[in-house]
A and B are shown apart, each in its own frame.
Chain A
């Protein structure tokens, strides 16, 4: 079965630093998503991306966040100046016809 991959699996950073989380979606998928899950809480939608632009974003996705698809295969989430409350598991997903496939997640720890 095709799979979504994410790197790194775990990222530790200092508060105020920039981080980039990387995802490689399934190759023929056109819709891409980022979700996050703070420890002990539900998985929350952050942003969706289609046709090289953001198609929807949640209230969480403020100016500190950005996404891009720099080279036609990777899909990245950048957090410009990390805060303690950004510590969470970040999941990337891609969708073909109907089903979203989720990556294994990147655990971000902000110290």
Chain B
């Protein structure tokens, strides 16, 4: 059974710092992995999708990497801003069956001005 863990659970950094959020999963047979942002009480905003055959994806100040063999993905945020404050979730999709997502518990990020 796939389990997804995110470390740290919470992070507080001063504005301008580069930071790394971690996601680990127990079953390396994944179809893809997606990173989401969630603001309090709101929905899921898709940030980056990495297919199982890819090593990384970039969008603006965000870069996500994937190492399937070790069951890890990282989300790198460059030059953090107060507007980046949110909870970041990773979700992995299995290679078979219905391709449902299994979500991690998230990292709650606070960027201080």
Contact = CB atoms under 8 A, between A and B. Distances in A.
Interface of A: 31, 33, 35, 41-45, 48, 50, 55-56, 89, 91, 93, 95, 98-105, 107
Interface residues of B, number: 24
Interface of B: 31-32, 34, 36, 41-44, 46, 49, 51, 89, 91, 93, 97-106
A102 B106 contact: no
Interface residue SS majority, chain B: strand
B43 A56 contact: no
B106 A91 contact: no
A61 B101 CA distance: 16
Given A102-B44, A107-B41, 12 more contacts: A42-B103, A43-B91, A43-B103, A45-B102, A48-B100, A55-B98, A95-B99, A98-B31, A98-B49, A99-B49, A100-B101, A104-B43
